[in-house]
């Protein structure tokens, strides 16, 4: 009876009852008696419940008996976050003391560096904020949305709203860039395949550049303000003269061998121009990272380190470090101009889609689809901290399985009625003796 009462209690904590199953005897590894194993598991379950985790998150994550139906439960954990939506773009001002972040949660946030304290949240966009750019003088911020089709201007460091830029062509703004003298803004448009040029600070539309055959995903302006680069889903980078907007040349990408499927185009996701204005870097879906000379557009080198498409690139203010972020959940640091790989940073989150490098080249910021902003040291790539908005919380629910391994925010213990040591990634294998059965893998928050 004691064993039955205990197993009923475990099933109750797990949020599941299995009245049709025989009572199980639990053992943890090779240590202790079956009774102590039961005590340990019950203690872990109660600790998880005390931490505010749902009962289903604690137990019943799978039955290892190959002759029975496997049970599945969810592991739910709550974490602090930087934004309530994916982080789309990052920018650091020339002083290295201010970081701006754009998010799918419709906001732009201003953070102090290097401590990472939240200074202000800018609201006003009615759709996901896809891009931010800070003027070289650090007095103006431009934010763009690919949903509400606007560019908004803000003063810095106070974050006061100044003006909204709209035009017939501003349908889905994906990227913005500000000229070195702060008098010109370029905005890329996804659905019209165009680039708009605006005067600053008045926000008057000067001209619209047409020529791409696909959505324009990214723009960059050279340090001397005479050259604009735009990258498109038509697999090209176009170079334009400024301020008149004349087309100078078109750079066509070609694929490189990557261990991923090449079933679709080599769309250009990001471009960056070196501080000296002599090099252009492009990043694309499956054409790798390419280094080009400027202004002639000759291909110098292709960098192949990522195992997935490259979402964004950033060049350090001194021009010696290149950062690239990929859908393979890594950020890679490269030396320039030689393109040697320095470090690979593995980000414990979803796809990284934003990076920025501080003016003194000692700090890298990364933003991901699952809401965190991380700070890393350069050049060693050590993880420093994650930025936290005290009012931001995110809840993650993951389905557990007996062979699913570790889950985000969870650890697991495996208990079984066999005389074998069970591991997290292994379903228990029992002997063939009559009546033997296996327990499951039980997950609970760290």
Q: For residues 134 and 122, what is the distance between their CA atoms, to the nearest angstrom?
A: 14
Q: How many CB atoms lie within 10 A of CB 180?
A: 16
Q: Residue 209: what pLDDT?
A: 96
Nearby residues of 368 by Cβ (< 8 Å), 6 or more positions away: 86, 87, 347, 349, 350, 351, 352, 353, 354, 374
Q: Where in the chain is the domain with CATH 2.130.10.10?
A: 83-387
Contact residues for 46 (Cβ-Cβ < 8 A; gap 6+): 13
Beta strand 216-221 with 205-210 is unpaired
Gap between the Cα atoms of 249 and 296, Å rounded? 8
Return phi, psi of residue 390, to 5°.
Answer: -55, -25
375, β-bridge pairs: 365, 385
- Name the maximum alpha-carbon separation found in the chain: 87
pLDDT of residue 77: 60
> Residue 97 has which token pair?
């003391």
**Per-position pLDDT tens, the chain of length 446:** 444 444 443 333 333 333 333 333 333 333 333 333 333 333 333 333 333 333 222 333 333 343 333 333 445 566 777 888 889 999 999 999 999 999 999 999 999 999 999 999 999 999 999 999 999 999 999 999 988 889 999 999 999 999 999 876 556 899 999 999 999 999 999 888 999 999 999 999 999 999 999 899 999 999 999 999 999 988 899 999 999 999 999 998 865 444 444 444 678 999 999 999 999 999 987 768 999 999 999 999 999 878 778 899 999 989 999 999 988 888 999 999 999 999 998 876 668 889 999 988 999 999 988 778 999 999 888 889 889 888 887 766 555 444 434 433 333 333 333 333 333 333 333 333 333 333 443 333 33
The CATH superfamily of 83-387 is YVTN repeat-like/Quinoprotein amine dehydrogenase (2.130.10.10)
**What is the C-alpha to C-alpha distance for residues 101 and 82, in angstroms, rounded to an integer?**
9
CA distances from 178 to 99, 193, 227, 437 (A): 16, 19, 12, 66
Q: Spell out a b/e string for 334-358, using b for 16 or more CB atoms within 10 Å of the CB, else e.
A: bebbebeeebebebebebbbbbbbb
* Predicted local distance difference test score (pLDDT) of residue 41: 34
According to the model, what pLDDT value does residue 255 have? 52
User: For the CA atoms of the chain, what is the radius of gyration?
Assistant: 27
């Amino acid at each position: 009876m004691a064993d039955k009462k205990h197993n009923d209690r475990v099933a109750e904590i797990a949020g599941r009852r299995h009245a049709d199953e025989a009572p199980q005897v639990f053992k943890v590894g090779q240590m202790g008696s079956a009774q102590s194993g039961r005590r340990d598991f019950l203690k872990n379950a109660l600790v998880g419940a005390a931490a505010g985790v749902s009962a289903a998150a604690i137990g019943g994550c799978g039955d290892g008996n190959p002759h029975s139906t496997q049970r599945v439960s969810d592991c739910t954990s709550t974490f602090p976050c930087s934004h309530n939506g994916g982080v789309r773009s990052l920018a650091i001002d020339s002083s290295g003391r201010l970081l701006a972040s754009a998010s799918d949660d419709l906001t732009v946030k201003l953070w102090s560096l290097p401590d990472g304290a939240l200074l202000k949240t800018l609201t006003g966009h009615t759709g996901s904020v896809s891009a931010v750019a800070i003027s070289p003088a650090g007095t103006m911020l431009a934010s763009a949305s690919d949903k509400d089709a606007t560019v908004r201007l803000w003063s810095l460091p106070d974050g006061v709203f100044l003006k909204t830029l709209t035009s017939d062509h501003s349908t889905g703004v994906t990227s913005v860039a500000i000229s070195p003298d702060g008098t010109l803004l370029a905005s890329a448009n996804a659905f019209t395949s165009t680039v708009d040029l605006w005067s600053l600070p008045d926000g008057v539309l000067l001209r619209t550049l047409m020529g791409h055959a696909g959505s324009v995903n990214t723009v960059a302006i050279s340090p001397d303000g005479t050259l604009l680069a735009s990258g498109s889903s038509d697999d090209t980078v176009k170079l334009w003269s400024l301020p008149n907007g004349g087309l100078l040349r078109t750079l066509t990408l070609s694929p490189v061998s990557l261990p991923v499927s090449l079933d679709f185009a080599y769309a250009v996701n990001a471009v960056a121009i070196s501080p000296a204005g002599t090099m252009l870097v492009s990043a694309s879906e499956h054409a790798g990272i390419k280094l080009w000379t400027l202004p002639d557009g000759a291909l110098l080198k292709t960098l192949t380190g990522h195992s997935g498409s490259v979402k964004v690139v950033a060049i350090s203010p001194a021009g010696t470090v290149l950062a690239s972020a990929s859908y393979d959940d890594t950020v890679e640091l490269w030396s320039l101009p030689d393109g040697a790989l320095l470090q690979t940073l593995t980000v414990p989150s979803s796809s990284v889609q934003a990076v920025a490098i501080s003016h003194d080249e000692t700090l890298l910021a990364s933003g991901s689809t699952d809401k965190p902003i991380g700070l890393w040291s350069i050049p060693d790539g050590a993880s420093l901290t994650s930025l936290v908005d005290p009012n931001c919380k995110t809840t993650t629910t993951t389905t557990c399985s007996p062979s699913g391994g570790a889950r985000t925010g969870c650890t697991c213990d495996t208990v079984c009625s066999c005389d074998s040591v069970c591991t997290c990634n292994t379903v228990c294998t029992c002997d063939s003796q009559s009546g033997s059965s296996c327990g499951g893998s039980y997950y609970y928050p760290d």
